[in-house]
Amino acid sequence: MIRRRLTAAGGACRPSSRPRRVGALAAGLLLALALPLAGCVAPQLALIQSGLDSLRTQVDTLQVRDSVSYRVLGDLRREMSEQRDILLSTRASNGSTTQELFEKMGRLEGKLDEVMGRFNQLQQRAAQPPAQPSGPDPNQLYEQAAQDLTQGRYPLALQGFRDYAERFPGTDLADNALYGAGECFFAQSRFDSAAVEYEQIETLDPQGDRVPAGLWKLALCHEKLGQPVQARKTLEDLVKRFPLSGEAQLARDRLAMPKPRPKAKR
């Protein structure tokens, strides 16, 4: 007979006796529907009506679990529709009972349609890709942090720069965000924390356009922290690696080094 894997709404995931009962009731109902209606109409109508009553009680709490049970319900729905058409064409002596049976079958078909419709909705939701969370606009985030820095809102600026550096580490403004975070600490005389931020600029991109400025401010942090040896080493490194930068000229002045002579034109 037809096997059905159905589960009651809100029930456990393990198979229960209810799906088997529903399957048996549906199978019995279909068997009764398939019997010839001519001859012993009244007893067969009574059998069908009893099967419909029992099956309707089960369908009220059904929930389709998988595609197999969905196909089984589809077969049952189609067969019921075919048998309903046979009942309509049959001229039974007790027409009122036939009409009552027909109405019950219609209500049961509606319940089956509802259950199958819920399954289709769940399948459609499962097939949809998860919605991507919307994040902040990178440029807007950076501009807001820069504005907070210029207006002295250092905690807000620091949070904005750090958020930018974490969310968008591969963008052109990532090193600027690290530099901005260092500026927040430097403006508050927190030179040790500022030095950490400036050092990260070179780590992010050793040849980035913000590295000279980061090295210059890092050297100043070393001076403020009473570390002249580290400060001088950083300045010399700046001059050596980025000799044409404006920060390199500041470093030369700090080191009292002569300016490089321009090459003579030939």
* pLDDT band (50, 70, 90) for residue 249: very high
pLDDT at 136: 75
Domains defined along the chain, listed by start = 6-127 (1.20.58), 138-255 (1.25.40.10)
Rounded Cα gap, residues 224 and 195, in angstroms: 10
Closest CA to 51 of 76, 71, 26: 26
Q: DSSP secondary-structure letter at 259?
A: P
pLDDT single digits (tens) 195-226:
999 999 999 988 889 999 999 999 999 999 99
Is the pTM here over 0.75, yes or no?
A: no
Radius of gyration for the chain, computed over Cα atoms and rounded to the nearest angstrom: 40
Rounded Cα gap, residues 164 and 184, in angstroms: 14
Each as own residue / partner, the long-range contacts of residues 217-221 (CB below 8 Å, 24 or more positions apart, any chain) are 217/179, 217/182, 217/183, 217/186, 219/251, 219/254, 220/186, 221/186, 221/191, 221/192, 221/194, 221/195
Average pLDDT, the chain: 75
pLDDT at 7: 38
* pLDDT band (50, 70, 90) for residue 46: low
* pLDDT band (50, 70, 90) for residue 4: very low
pLDDT at 86: 65
Give the list of residues 6+ apart from residue 258 with CB closer than 8 angstroms, or none: 252
- Are 149 and 177 in contact by the 8 Å Cβ rule? The answer is no
Q: What angle do CA 126, 129, 132 make, to 5 degrees?
A: 135
- Are 42 and 48 in contact by the 8 Å Cβ rule? The answer is no
Rounded Cα gap, residues 214 and 182, in angstroms: 9
Take residue 163 and report the two structure tokens written for it.
Answer: 């958020």
